[in-house]
Amino acid sequence: MAFADTSTLALSNRFVVELDEGRINLGSWAQCQGLEVTWKMADYRAGDAGNDRWFYPGFTEYPNIKLTRAACQDSPKVQGWLSENSFGNKPGTQTGAIILYDPNNKEVIRWNLKSVSPVKWAIGGFEAGTSKVALETLELTHNGFLNDGNKPAK
């Protein structure tokens, strides 16, 4: 694929996760899965001899986002945020962002997530007989990243 001289390419290995409009920076992650949207399509038929069909986009569905990385110095930030959200917080009131950077550390694209809440956090098992890296995973639910009129909960 050819690119214009002015094309700025984002690298899939350079992204960070922020919450509450940058108030909480959860740092860099090695993997991000589930950043996608699906439309349930409504199928209408004319009912005449031609039996024509029309498709209209219906409800949007956003799967949970699963983040994975090696346990690191940013891991306590995640624990702090989880503690903050475990009790006394209105669910789904926080915003979030996944920000992708270019090789010069300039922001290329950002996905602003609405109504972010933690679903699951885990750290891989520990085993003294191996030299594996301890992996941390964080799963988030959200109410979308498109400007589709879907407002955050209050």
The pLDDT tens digits for 136-154 are 999 999 999 987 655 544 4
C-beta separation of 16 from 25 below 8 A: yes
C-beta separation of 95 from 152 below 8 A: yes
The pLDDT tens digits for 74-119 are 999 999 989 888 766 666 678 999 999 988 888 989 999 999 999 9
**How many Å apart are CA 89 and CA 144, to the nearest integer?**
20
- How far is CA 18 from each of CA 56, 58, 74, 83, 113, rounded to the nearest angstrom? 34, 30, 12, 16, 10
Model's pTM, two decimal places?
A: 0.81
Residue 48 reports pLDDT greater than 80 = no
Tell which residue, 95, 139, 92, 99, has the closest CA to residue 113: 95
